[in-house]
Amino acid sequence: MHKIYQLISYFLIPIILLNLYFRILNKKEDKNRYRERFGKSKKNLNTSKGIIWLHAASIGEFKSSELIIDKYHNNFQILVTTTTKSSAEYINKFYKDKILHQYIPFDISIWCSRFLNNWKPNLVLWIESDIWPNMLNQIKKRKINCLFINARVSPKSFNKWKYLKNLYSFSMRTFIKIFAQSENDLERIKMLTKLKIDYIGNMKLSQTNNFNKIHINEDKKKYAVMLISSHQNEEELVIKQIESVIKSKELKLYIAPRHPERTSEIIKILGKYNFKYSLDSNNIINDAPVTIIDSFGKLNKYFGMCELVILGGSFVDKGGHNPLEPANYKCAIITGNLVYNWQNIYEDMAKENACIIIDDINNLKYKFNEIICDKVMLQEYKKNAFNFSKKNFFEKERLFEEIDLVLK
């Protein structure tokens, strides 16, 4: 199966090049760094250190790996690869002193080989669900130790991979250890491969116990709510439901889209519903009822100002997003029901009245108004969400033991 995949990938090169060209034109790809997608790189190595290569497809996966970077960056050169321009911008803004960033090459064997010949990593840490069979095969050929951390197969991905079980299982044989993100993911992965799969918790939740490092603005001067990690078409679905409550209760609404480059789309939606707005990037304080958070790295600031957070990626089919970040700031949580990427967490939170799950978008208006008007209910959900966020969700010491064992 892999040989067929490898052959097909070569035939797809003209399409890959054409797609890259249009992505550069549309500013979705960095025109100054597109050569990295062919495995080329400008080395800037500390040759006295070994290299740990960490692959994380996007910002969410990268942020979950912060604990690994913090532990090992003093003794090893940390190379991080991602696939998105936004993740590269985030990394270069906040982590350029700790790591080197490269775009991962397209999954063509000669480009993958060129990349590995350039960097020669001592250890590869693969994060979550981004399976590249040709790259993983090249890693295996070189006998480079490789761990699959926070391995995930969503129900949607499982429905695709079950027709390519041989290819999936072939790729997974690259890893000397596989740690599933959740018990549900563990069961789905087991249906795709006979390899041993371990479960040590969800690494994305490893940062949520550092509450003593977080400042909460207890003296909130304005009653504020927040829509975060929203996707295309989702802002209008939500705003249509909560518009009348926002206006009648004179609430402050913050919107933090998953992709800030979509800010112009959101501005048009706000105009349709006659909302005045401001942009966080302008650094201007005004009385506009809506502020769009149009850059990365600002959520913590606004979580501390909000009573309630509506989590996006759950009213459209994106699988939901991490609820524990806002919960850690004593925010009440509302989410849609399309949360399969976080199914276990949301189910447990719902059992403890730590979040509200909306099964039908048309019910959002009623539940939103109910919790806003009932201060006792609001405080109860805030307290329950916060208490839930303090649980231990990830065995990081077990992970460090496995990494240290390989590095010795």
Report CA Rg, the chain.
Answer: 22
Long-range contacts of 269-272 (CB under 8 A, 24+ apart): 269/235, 269/236, 269/239, 270/239, 272/236
β-strand partners of 201: 394
Task: Output the tens digit of pLDDT for each of the chain's 408 residues.
Answer: 889 999 999 999 999 999 999 999 988 899 999 999 999 987 666 567 899 999 998 888 888 899 999 999 999 999 999 998 888 888 988 888 889 999 999 999 999 999 999 999 999 999 998 899 999 999 999 999 999 999 999 888 999 999 999 999 999 999 999 999 999 999 999 999 999 999 999 998 876 544 443 444 444 445 899 999 999 999 999 999 999 999 999 999 999 999 888 999 999 999 999 999 999 888 765 688 999 999 887 888 889 889 999 999 999 999 999 999 899 999 999 999 999 989 889 999 999 999 999 999 999 999 999 999 999 999 999 999 999 999 889 999 999 999 999 998
220 and 322 in a common domain: yes
Instruction: Return the H-helix or E-strand segment holding 184.
Output: helix 183-190
Structure tokens at 146: 């490789």
**59 neighbors 87 (Cβ within 8 angstroms):** yes
CATH code for the domain of 332: 3.40.50.2000
85 and 189 in a common domain: yes
367 and 244 in a common domain: yes
Structure tokens at 109: 């064997």
Structure tokens at 379: 């405080």
What pLDDT does 221 receive?
A: 46
CATH code for the domain of 96: 3.40.50.11720
SS3 of 327, please? helix
197 and 253 in a common domain: no
What pLDDT does 211 receive?
A: 45
173 and 114 in a common domain: yes
90 and 40 in a common domain: yes
CB atoms within 10 A of CB 95: 17
d(CA 252, CA 291): 8
In 262-341, at which residue ranges do the beta strands (DSSP E only) sit? Answer: 277-279, 290-292, 308-311, 332-336
> What is the residue range of 247's domain?
211-389
175 and 229 in a common domain: no
150 and 299 in a common domain: no
What pLDDT does 357 receive?
A: 97
171 and 82 in a common domain: yes
Strand order across the 177-180 sheet: 99-103, 76-82, 50-55, 123-127, 145-151, 177-180, 198-199
216 and 152 in a common domain: no
Task: Work out how many domains the chain is built from and give that number.
Answer: 2
End-to-end CA distance of the chain: 35
- Residue at token pair 């490269």: 102
Phi, psi of 43 (to 5 degrees): -70, 140
